[in-house]
Chain A
Amino acid sequence: MNRHLISAGDLTRDDALLILDTAEELARVSERSIKKLPTLRGRTVVNLFFEDSTRTRISFEAAAKRLSADVINFSAKGSSVSKGESLKDTALTLEAMGADAVVIRHGSSGAPHRLANWVHGSVVNAGDGTHEHPTQALLDAFSMRRRLGSLDGRRITIVGDVLHSRVARSNVLLLHTLGAEVTLVAPPTLLPVSVDTWPCAVSYDLDGVLPKSDAVMMLRVQKERMNAAYFPSEREYSRRYGLDRDRFAKLPEEAIVMHPGPMNRGMEIAAEVADSPRSTIVEQVANGVTIRMAVLYLLLGGEIA
């Protein structure tokens, strides 16, 4: 495996399967009364968060702590960054503190890639701009595999704001690597221009795609990024692209419903769909800790060159 995890596209099929298989074994640790392993004793993991993201940060923090690594949380608010420190100087500071891995969340696409050139340790992308969020894609793939078995030939539908979604891009890349067939469904205004170069199909007709889906992943409508008129009204969006009870009924019997969270109930997903036994939304959170343990173990567990 690579020394960094920056893009889901960097993972080969073997890398991805190794991460998923490792997570499968580590999931058993989460079921025991003592959930801690001594493996990363003496390693330091820095959570470097330039954007607020409580769930991703605590997920990484829990994962690192369960492996006995030391965790330093560095959030941009109220830190030297708000005093104007550059990313590079922040990186060099962390380097001087002996960080073996830096988990970075940044508003600008490409920031983790830049960081990887400046620090010695491993860089893990925890979401950069509208680019990628590889550990989210891994935990989604892990959740699907646990419910559906192998992902080979599975039909996965991703619905919603693909344009602003790093989750969608990482998922398309990873699921393609794992042999799944991905279809994106979104209003044309919420698809990136380059989507025809992605390894997936595109549709504007949710009702036509649902009966042929093994899993449907609803993306959050990112109100904070809705600075232009991407669709006429929330109500219209919800009518055309929301997963309500009637649409849920069109899914095959065994199909599952996913959401990376945090969700807008009643907007992209109806409350009763989100709470149904075929929804994996809560599992995805637990699986997030497990998959991040697997990633940290595989990056830091061996000899560091």
Chain B
Amino acid sequence: MSESRAVLEGPDIHRALTRIAHEILERTKGADEVVLLGIPTRGATLARRLGDRIEQFEGLKIPVGSIDITMYRDDLRRGPVRPLGRTEVPADGIDGRTVVLVDDVLYSGRTVRAALDALNDLGRPTAVQLATLVDRGHRELPIRADYVGKNLPTAKSEKVKVFLQEIDGRDAVLLMKEDAR
């Protein structure tokens, strides 16, 4: 592996998620109507963490699920077929709720576009918001995040990789030069 540096370490991620959880509570006036939907794989993990955090702060258990966007991607025909992730919609559905989509890295915005399409087939939320751990810029679509853990200026040739305890055994966000294969 060649050059890579940690942009966020475990405690930084912890603090960022704590702040986002507070912002969600503040912006949605107590999060009564909120449903958190994470985009697999790491977005789903982050959504669960945010849900736990909100429960700690307000004693309010908000519905958490996941939304797989593979079947809605606009680049399916480039490259080999992709395995599907899990879509888990909370029992009460999303109709009339405020859905907060959660992803690990916001980049071109195409993933979020696909998620909006997928959401459309699941129901009709009152509002949709977006939370992301890292916003690395280079948007290709008119999409922005409502809650951002860290704005990270990057070159297009670089890669951002998020590691989470539940999946990777540690918490970190790494910025890697492209030749790091």
B121 touches A34 (CB 8 A): yes
Known: A38-B72, A301-B76. A22 touches B84 (CB 8 A): yes
Most chain A Cβ neighbours within 10 Å, of B81, B82, B85, B117: B81
B85 touches A25 (CB 8 A): yes
Determine the chain A residues whose CB is within 8 A of the CB of B68 once the complex forms: 25
State which residues 1-31 of A face B: CB under 8 Å. 1, 18, 21-22, 25-26, 28
B81 touches A298 (CB 8 A): yes
Type the 1/0 row for A26-67, where 1 means its CB is closer than 8 Å to any CB of B: 101000101011110000000000000000000000000001
* Closest-CB distance, B36 to chain A (whole angstroms): 18
Quick check: is B18 within 8 A (CB to CB) of the other chain? Answer: no
Quick check: is A302 within 8 A (CB to CB) of the other chain? Answer: yes
Quick check: is B71 within 8 A (CB to CB) of the other chain? Answer: yes
B87 touches A302 (CB 8 A): no
Quick check: is B122 within 8 A (CB to CB) of the other chain? Answer: yes
A302 touches B79 (CB 8 A): yes
Contact of B121 among A21, A36, A303 (CB under 8 A): A36
Quick check: is B181 within 8 A (CB to CB) of the other chain? Answer: no
Contact of A303 among B72, B78, B87, B117 (CB under 8 A): B78
Quick check: is A237 within 8 A (CB to CB) of the other chain? Answer: no
Type the 1/0 row for A293-305, where 1 means its CB is closer than 8 Å to any CB of B: 0000111011110
Interface size class, chain B: 10 to 19
B81 touches A25 (CB 8 A): no
B76 touches A302 (CB 8 A): yes
Known: A36-B121, A37-B71. A28 touches B87 (CB 8 A): yes
The CA of A301 and the CA of B72, in the complex, are separated in Å by: 11
* Closest-CB distance, A2 to chain B (whole angstroms): 12
Q: Which residue on chain B has the smallest CB distance to residue A36?
A: B121
Q: Which residue on chain B has the smallest CB distance to residue A43?
A: B77
Determine the chain B residues whose CB is within 8 A of the CB of A36 once the complex forms: 121
Contact of A302 among B71, B77, B85, B86 (CB under 8 A): B77
Q: Which residue on chain A has the smallest CB distance to residue B88?
A: A28
Known: A22-B83, A25-B84, A302-B82. A38 touches B71 (CB 8 A): yes
Type the 1/0 row for A91-123, where 1 means its CB is closer than 8 Å to any CB of B: 000000000000000000000000000000000
Quick check: is B142 within 8 A (CB to CB) of the other chain? Answer: no
* Closest-CB distance, B94 to chain A (whole angstroms): 11
The CA of A67 and the CA of B79, in the complex, are separated in Å by: 19
Determine the chain B residues whose CB is within 8 A of the CB of A37 once the complex forms: 71-72, 121
Determine the chain B residues whose CB is within 8 A of the CB of A38 once the complex forms: 71-72, 117
Determine the chain B residues whose CB is within 8 A of the CB of A304 once the complex forms: 77
Determine the chain B residues whose CB is within 8 A of the CB of A67 once the complex forms: 71
Contact of A39 among B76, B83, B85, B87 (CB under 8 A): B76
Q: Which 5 A-B pairs have the closest CB atoms?
A: A302-B81, A25-B84, A39-B71, A301-B81, A37-B71
Binding site for A on B (CB under 8 A): 68, 71-72, 76-87, 117, 121-122
Binding site for B on A (CB under 8 A): 1, 18, 21-22, 25-26, 28, 32, 34, 36-39, 67, 297-299, 301-304
Interface contacts beyond A297-B71, A301-B81: sample of 20 additional A-B pairs, CB < 8 Å, sorted by A: A1-B81, A21-B83, A22-B84, A25-B68, A25-B85, A25-B87, A26-B84, A32-B122, A36-B121, A37-B71, A37-B72, A37-B121, A38-B72, A38-B117, A297-B81, A302-B77, A302-B79, A302-B80, A303-B79, A303-B80
